[in-house]
Structure 1
């Protein structure tokens, strides 16, 4: 059980750097994460990374 269970987070700039780290951490803590990035491919990679980590 994570501290963000039943929460939804929108993370902008989630394709790299701090945004990616935040998106991964939020997902790990149980939030449903909406990923946004100006670079579509980086955004898709972030989503795949979240999924591959089981979140």
Structure 2
């Protein structure tokens, strides 16, 4: 569960995270969002099912937005 701290250390900052559809990139994107950053989530995999591995940037963005954060997906 992602919990957003709008007054966190990264309030007012924009974080660009590549490889954020799964794994370490996903964890970094979620952590930046937790600290109040607006996050640009980027990877080649847009939606779950676009790749043999589970996960996609739209899923990561949705988790951030559902928790009250700000994020957009950009395919790279």
Which TM-score band (shorter chain)?
over 0.9
The higher radius of gyration belongs to 2
Q: Can you give the 5+ residue segments of structure 2 that lack an aligned partner in the other structure? A: 1-6, 48-55, 70-76
Superposed CA RMSD in Å reads 0.8
Structure with a larger share of its residues in helix: 1
Moved >4 Å (runs of 4+): none
Q: Can you give the 5+ residue segments of structure 1 that lack an aligned partner in the other structure? A: none
- TM-score normalised by structure 2 residue count: 0.68
Relative contact order higher in (CA < 8 Å, ≥ 6 apart): 1
- TM-score normalised by structure 1 residue count: 0.92
Equivalences, count: 55
